[in-house]
A and B are shown apart, each in its own frame.
Chain A
Amino acid sequence: MFPWLTALIAWPLVGAALVGLSALGLSRTGPASAGVGLARPIALLFSLVEVGLLVGAFIAFDTGAAAEHQLAETYRWIPQIGTSYAVGVDGVGLLLVALSVVLVPLVLLAAWTEQGRDEVRLRRFVGLVLLLQAFMVAVFCARDVFLFYVLFEAMLIPAYFLIGGFGQGAGRRKAAVKFLMFSLGGGLIMLAAVVSLYFLGIAAGIDRSQVFLVDELAAVDLGTTAERLMFVGFFIAFAIKAPMVPVHSWLPDVAGNATPGTSTLLICVLDKVGTFGMLTLCLPLFPEASRWAAPLVIALAVISVLYGAIMAIMQTDLLRLVGWTSVSHFGFIILGIFTFTPLGTAGSSFMMLNHGLATGALFLVAGFLVSRHPEKSQKIADYSGLRSVTPVLAGTFLVAGLATLSLPGLATFVSEIMVLVGAFGGSPAGSAGWAVAAVPGVVLAAVYVLLTYQKIFTGAPAAGLEALPDLRLRERVVAAPLVVGLLVLGLVPGLALTYVDAPAEQSVALTSVDEPADDAAQTGSDN
């Protein structure tokens, strides 16, 4: 069988190498050298072929067995420390791979003219984007804890350079360091848990050379205290990435300073590693501990929903605002995962995809708006009355905003209502109450979206902005697939739910509280 996942991981790496190598040559010989201006088309071509590979993977994937990890490949990597190159995706992983693959060409296209004529910067930018894509695809496919960990940390490198090296914010270097510090801090805690898993896995009798395989480790009973400690290690790292209150502090700084394209990749895709990890590592590896921690996690999730929304309302910087809305949305995703219902979990998985489309659209359109301002201002107060000047831009912004506030009819609504209705019937203590407490989030979302729209697009046009150009063809091509995707998935969500329903049933089964019976059965057979 064709190794679809490896191909999906390797292809952008090849692209990054190609563009990156030529960038090295360029910096020595100066801008007059051959191949000038080819970096962007080459990168775009690579990212489009990647979409083709994705289609192949979707065709090869059997939706009838969406809960199983398919397209799997397992090779020994460093048997001395028990790690393998093991990849495979269930339905949720496949959708997140799809998100990483689909957003990259759009980001490249959106940033087409962003780096001006500086060929070196341009090549560096597209090279880093492709490198980041390879890591992101890989991390959603990893079925080996150590491989996952390595990728989890490796992603930071391109992300760090993308935040710190590009964009116009004065604080971008500081933001990059802050991002790195938070991520490394979380990674360090996780590393301790990963190493512990190694020893406990061996102690439980797993073959030493492939002790990190998730499927093997999931079967091990780790013992209550150890399991809880390791859960905490993984969870903190994931919560930082997600980001969840109170470990979210890096996010608004990044959103406010990075380019909109970087923010899209970072917040719409890379951060999903946090919630994806909770779903596909925390629950299977530490089911009892997940149950144990659920009441606190749910509480923090709902606090994130409200806190993020309130902070979004209070922002004066457009891109920071979009960043904060994500804190709110990630809260919903975590709420759905940790209330352990098939409906809520499926909703969360679906929401990981939808949030990527909706927030991606909002970041990119906000970027288009900022790029038009004579001073590239991100301050909301510097805009006014633009609906009459740039009607198509205004309409697109509104649609992206409506998707962000989960307007019924759009995909985001389906996932949000699944999470809320599901969470209401969740098994952890207090689920219903917390679900109800999260509902005002929908009102706050209406406020932060419509207030922003009102300030930027209504009233009299601000001085100096009366003649801004409307969305260009290239920009419409970027926005259109996202809007169409949100509409289609809103009307026919079954297209995506086929992939997440069975995995959701399975995750919930992992955490259901019928273990005493299992134990009794095991004891019986042991005797």
Chain B
Amino acid sequence: MNDVIGLAPWLVGFPLIGAAILLLGGKATDRWGHWLGVLASAASAVIGFILMFRMIGTPAEERSIDHHLWTWLSAGGLDVDLGLRLDPLSLTFVMLVTFVGTLIHVYSVAYMDHDPHRRRFFGYLNLFVAAMLTLVLADSYLLLFVGWEGVGLASYLLIGFWDTGRPSARENAVAAKKAFVMNRIGDMGLIAAMALLFAGTGALDFGTTLSDDAVGSLSEATATAIGLCLLLAACGKSAQFPLQAWLGDAMAGPTPVSALIHAATMVTAGVYLMVRSGPILEAAPTAQLVVVIVGAVTLLFGAVVGTAKDDIKKALAASTMSQIGYMMLAAGLGPAGYAFAIFHLLTHGFFKAGLFLGAGSVMHAMGDQTDMRRFGGLSRFLPITWITMGLGWLAILGIPPFSGFWSKDGIIEAAFMPVEGQPWRAWVFGSVAVLGAAITAFYMTRLFFMTFGGRRPRWTENQHPHESSPLMWWPLVFLGVGSAALGAVLGIGGTFVTWLEPVVGHAEHHEPVLPVPVIITTTLVVVVLGALLAFRMYAVALVPEEAPRGSVLTRAARRDLYQDTANETLVLKPAHGVARLVQVGDRDVVDRGWSVLPQAVSWFGAVFRKAQSGYVRSYAAGMAGGVLVIAVVVWLVVGLGGAQ
């Protein structure tokens, strides 16, 4: 391992250099810039493969390596190195980010072919890859934060990629800003967590802060506070309740961005943070419970919203939120859940990226139409997209033997694990997980058949759908294969769980409150029921081209359960009120207050002048008065000093 460790910095280095060349190079790089971007990402992927295979060949107990680069910050008792941590967890992410990332780069070459700013797009994509790899490879919270906000910046730039020159430009820009600001609300948590960690352990690097000694020295209250602060950060980045409102709007970005950043990688960073910080959470059962609750609430929230969305990208975004809810729930369950959280993150990365890219392929074929009510019957025209999205659909439903089954089933079983002293927990969270699976089956089947099925197309005029170019469908095929097989390859025999064990620790085996076969069967039955219901409503029945009014629940779900209204009423309006108050206060109290002072002085002056008279004399009097005042003050100060 040691002979190849020197390659690790290049994982970040290549895409960073790529981004720098593309963004600073200007128009000179327009002709070949996109291929440079692909190359930079592919180079990272190759290094990732090398490091990964070498790590597999390393004994399990030597699979955590901190690679020091240089002393980053050393002042005032805080020492933080700029260093990378290579272990099974970070390398899993490296593989996901670079492999899926490279596929999406390739796809984007064709998808963004007609965009005059394709080079800039690839610059941002490279920047994202570099930041995401920094996030997962960092060996300290401080460096993780650099990647954390770095991906936020890349996300901001890419959501707002079309922020000029088209009718929706301003809307896109607003969506980008909303994402960044809501992420920053979460980031407050990370800053506060770092403050607490430094106060508690005197360090910010993983090696020290997550050691048994350091965690053991924290009081439970402190550990809980740190855990909750980290959760706040995770909620922002991973669009978990109550910081979920930005993700739907983020779909304003080009579709490859939605696939890479807002489905496969960046939005799952919150789960990474939770799993990485496992030792702290385990010392804070209350925080763990809150993590599980947030996950459970979000998984239902996203699923419900997903059932009502007619915009294919927004439906997928709601689904992403919901699936990350599953991961978050698992991350709150302790060592038994960590491996499955990350496993689901990995399989989800493949099938959701495939679904998004498939959606992009459909949009490409339909003149950028996103309204599923204007799709239908597309399977004949887009066979490759249809089959690969079909694999993704079966994977997210959790139908065996497709990928999602292995990872999601693990989470559902873990949710049914009994917690000592709180017997209600297993039943509540287990049921939520099963219910979520049923709703997932409904909305994904709805999406799939509204797009590809149906007895007659509901297209707008002059549509001539056609399969997209090989540059676009080859990545779909790779991701489709991953959606189909990755879960089985890594899941059978617990390969993936064993792989992560050096990082997340060994979980004591407990029996769920229900026998495992019962859980699996129940889940499959409700999934099939959900799918059948959707099939009846959206494949057998005719889908109206205009959305019907719908029930109260449908209307609420369409509007994301009124999340924007709630934020508006509860946060933005009061905040604006406070801001107005400050503004008026500054003008009418503070500023006016100071302007009274010279008036008062001149009023005294006027009184004084009446007694005296004459221009020069009044100045002299003023000066004398000033000197007198100072003399008195000095006399008082010195006198008081002398009196000590």
Contact = CB atoms under 8 A, between A and B. Distances in A.
24 contacts: A188-B630, A195-B630, A196-B634, A196-B638, A223-B641, A223-B643, A226-B640, A226-B642, A246-B590, A310-B582, A342-B76, A385-B169, A408-B146, A409-B146, A418-B76, A421-B198, A432-B195, A440-B188, A442-B191, A450-B176, A454-B163, A454-B170, A491-B82, A497-B73
Contact of B591 (A249, A417, A421): A249
Given A224-B644, A454-B173, A459-B169, A442 B188 contact: yes
B198 A388 contact: no
Query: Which of A191, A454, A501 has the largest number of chain B CB atoms within 10 A?
Result: A454
A314 interface: yes
A501 B75 CA distance: 5
A195 B635 CA distance: 10
A193 interface: yes
A222 interface: yes
Contact of B195 (A245, A350, A435, A443): A435
A422 B76 contact: yes
A493 interface: yes
A403 interface: no
B640 A311 contact: no
Nearest to A194: B634
A346 interface: yes
A443 B188 contact: yes
B181 A459 contact: no
Q: What 9 pairs across the A-B complex have the smallest Cβ distances?
A: A226-B641, A343-B76, A223-B644, A342-B76, A458-B173, A424-B195, A458-B163, A388-B164, A196-B637
Contacts of B428: none
A307 B582 contact: yes
Contacts of B187: 442-443
A32 to B, nearest CB: 42
Given A494-B73, A501-B75, A446 B180 contact: yes
A420 interface: yes
B145 interface: yes
Contacts of B150: 408-409
Chain B at the A interface: SS class:
helix
B394 interface: no
B641 A387 contact: no
A454 B177 contact: yes
B574 interface: no
Nearest to A343: B76
A502 B491 CA distance: 55
Given A192-B630, A408-B146, A458-B163, A500 B195 contact: no
A347 B630 CA distance: 37
Contacts of B177: 450-451, 454
A350 B70 CA distance: 20
B637 A425 contact: no
B174 interface: yes
Contacts of B516: none
Chain A at the B interface: SS class:
helix
A226 B644 contact: yes
B76 A402 contact: no
Given A385-B164, A459-B173, A193 B181 contact: no
A344 interface: yes
Interface of A: 181-182, 185, 188, 191-193, 195-196, 199-200, 203, 222-227, 229-230, 245-247, 249, 307, 310-311, 313-314, 341-347, 350, 385, 387-388, 395, 402, 407-409, 413-414, 417-418, 420-422, 424-425, 432, 435-436, 439-440, 442-443, 446-447, 450-451, 454, 457-461, 491-494, 497, 500-501, 504-505
Contacts of B75: 342-343, 346-347, 350, 418, 493, 497, 500-501, 504
Contact of A494 (B72, B165, B194): B72
B582 A311 contact: yes
A192 B633 contact: yes
Contacts of A223: 640-644
B191 A439 contact: yes
B164 A387 contact: yes
A447 B198 CA distance: 28
A196 B638 CA distance: 6
Contacts of A310: 578-579, 582-583
Interface in B193-213: 194-196, 198-199, 204
A263 to B, nearest CB: 19
B96 interface: no
Contacts of A313: 579
B53 interface: no
A497 B164 contact: no
A134 B67 CA distance: 47
A225 B637 CA distance: 8
A510 B586 CA distance: 36
Interface string B159-181: 01001110001101110110011
Contacts of B72: 491-494
A195 B181 contact: no
B74 interface: yes
B146 A443 contact: no
A40 B450 CA distance: 69
Nearest to A459: B170
Given A345-B76, A440-B188, A458 B169 contact: yes
Given A346-B76, A459-B164, A493-B73, 18 more contacts: A181-B598, A191-B630, A225-B640, A246-B590, A249-B594, A314-B583, A346-B75, A388-B164, A424-B195, A424-B196, A424-B198, A446-B180, A450-B156, A459-B173, A491-B72, A494-B74, A501-B76, A505-B76
Interface string B111-131: 000000000000000000000
Interface in B47-84: 70-78, 82
B215 interface: no
A188 B626 contact: yes
Given A314-B579, A458-B170, A417 B153 contact: no
B220 interface: no
Contact of A458 (B164, B180, B578, B634): B164
B192 interface: yes
Contacts of B196: 424
Interface in B588-644: 590-591, 593-594, 597-598, 626, 630, 633-634, 636-638, 640-644
B187 to A, nearest CB: 7
A247 B160 CA distance: 39
A226 B638 contact: yes
B185 interface: yes
B71 A494 contact: yes
Contact of B181 (A196, A230, A446, A461): A446
Nearest to A435: B195
B148 interface: yes
Contacts of A245: 590
A491 B71 CA distance: 10
B582 A229 contact: no
B4 to A, nearest CB: 24
Query: Which of B184, B187, B579, B637 has the largest number of chain A CB atoms within 10 A?
Result: B637
A180 to B, nearest CB: 11
B537 to A, nearest CB: 40
Contacts of B192: 436, 439
A209 B21 CA distance: 62
A315 B165 CA distance: 27
B582 A454 contact: no
B76 A425 contact: no
Given A310-B578, A387-B164, A461-B164, A407 B153 contact: yes
B235 interface: no
A514 B298 CA distance: 52
Contacts of B199: 424-425, 432
Contact of B583 (A311, A402, A439, A501): A311
B149 interface: yes
B142 interface: yes
A526 to B, nearest CB: 16
A314 B633 CA distance: 41
B298 to A, nearest CB: 21
Nearest to A398: B157
